[in-house]
Amino acid sequence: MNIGVSSGGRELKNTTHNLCNYIVTGSGRVGGHLLKGIILTTGNTAEHNHDPVPDINSILCISDRRNVFDAVMSNLLVKQTDQTFEYHKDVDPFTASLKDFKILLSQHLNFYKNISTQGYKEVYYFYFEDFVTNPECVYNKLGILPVNSKNVTMVAEPFLNAKCPYQYKDKILNWHELYDFFLKQNLGTTCINTLSKDSNKTWQ
């Protein structure tokens, strides 16, 4: 891929000039820290914040997953294991609570419904499934370049290496039941369709 020009024909900027601060946010387990790491390889500054404060001099980058179910299941694993980046112990298979699943699903969807995109220099949306395998899609969209390949390796790879070593299908015994419930909500695969802010939402 030629990373000198973005897929949309946008000329990529030399990152030694006009450096900017990027604020990365997301609901959790959507690759926000990895996205931050990729941006840092360009020499720009970046911060990760689940509750960002609008800043007209900063660019907001919103990270999400196309597969909402995977994001919620990942959060269920975190709730059970209390492990996010350092996976120092194995996890015995367990049965997840449907109540916990509903709460985490609601939190995930409402995050994207309620986040403010006002008061920033620019706002960009990213999907974890895209940049986890292709960091260049981030450079192309933002119009910036990594400082050098060594910097990409040093800055971004530690986040890739922090990937959870186990899969929810191997650890959550009732994942089929949770998936059936998820499908009944008719949410699609992305957060475009969100739940009501009403905490008394009636689940199907």
Using an 8 Å Cβ cutoff, are 39 and 135 in contact?
A: no
Global pTM reads 0.80
Dihedral of alpha carbons 127, 133, 138, 140, sign: negative
Angle between helices 98-114 and 68-81 (to 10 degrees): 120
How is domain 21-184 classified at the CATH fold level?
Answer: Rossmann fold (3.40.50)
Angle between helices 175-184 and 98-114 (to 10 degrees): 50
Return the structure tokens found at 186. 């008719």
Model confidence pLDDT, tens digit, residues 126-182 = 999 999 888 899 999 999 998 876 666 666 666 655 667 778 999 999 999 999 999
The pLDDT score that the predictor gives to residue 55 is 97
* 50 has a pLDDT exceeding 70: yes
Using an 8 Å Cβ cutoff, are 174 and 95 in contact?
A: yes
For the ranges 16-30, 31-45, 80-94, the maximum mean pLDDT occurs at 31-45
